[in-house]
Amino acid sequence: MASSKMIIDALSERMTGHANRVMIGLNWTLVEGPTGIGLAHTPVRGTSGCYGLSNAGELSGKPLSTFAVGLTSANPFDRALALAAINAHHNNFSLTGSSANGIDVAANQQNKTVVIGRFPGIRNRLPEAKVIERNPGPHDFPIAAAPELLADAKTLLITASTLTDGSLSKYLALAPDAFTVLMGPGTPLSPSLFKAGINILAGFVIDDKEKAFIAIAQGAAVKALKSCGRNICLQAP
């Protein structure tokens, strides 16, 4: 199974272009590249390791590849910028694919499903799924329960935020035979991830960049982003 370093190296390989604009919004971090716009969850202020960026105000114009190295930074803001820059490279405007989302795919599997991260509407669509959450709510499971739950999983849905906290490879290793979906607007739509054991990439491509910038500047959550682009679902060959 692929290590975190292997996954990061594969995603960062051959990145080209510079960041036209960069925004760190309340909920989403955005990087605009020459051929696409990338998103990543903005870390909650007060998260361990969070501190202001010393080069704030100077990020536009930097090569996308220089952001990508921040995926292993101790500062969660650096990691969010890194994933957004990676997605600006991979989730390009011309990309095509199925319009299904990850929950649609999991619902079709109809077997033992474990979800890493709480997604909007997950309880209605997948009422039998076991949800593992860093800050568990009612009926959720803590991260410590992952080894036991994943040992029996047939379908695994993983939030793309596991790329920014370095836990993706751990979850993949705990369920090597599960049908695995990496999902969310921060998902890199890169076929290199299929080699890591992921079967489906369920991400998002921004089509209306100006609308996306305004929405994110005003604190947009996932629902508000839907009108700015489209779901893209890629399946491993």
DSSP-assigned states of every residue in 190-207: -GGGGGGT--EEEEEEES
Q: How many domains does the chain have?
A: 2
**What is the domain-level CATH number for residue 164?**
3.40.50.11590
Instruction: Supply the range of the domain harboring residue 20.
Output: 4-94+207-226
Which tokens hold the place of 34? 């020459």
Residues 111 and 174 in one domain: yes
**Tens-place pLDDT, residues 183-224:** 999 999 999 999 999 999 999 999 999 999 999 999 998 889
Residue 232 domain-assigned? no
Residue 64 domain-assigned? yes
Residues 133 and 211 in one domain: no
- Per the CB < 8 A criterion, the answer to whether 29 and 23 are in contact is yes
Give the gyration radius of the chain's Cα atoms: 17
Report the C-alpha dihedral over residues 120, 126, 132, 133, rounded to 10 degrees.
10
Beta bridge partners of 201: 182, 234
**Tens-place pLDDT, residues 98-144:** 998 888 887 777 679 999 998 888 888 888 899 999 889 888 999 99
Q: What is the pTM of this model?
A: 0.93
- Per the CB < 8 A criterion, the answer to whether 30 and 84 are in contact is yes
Residues 45 and 120 in one domain: no
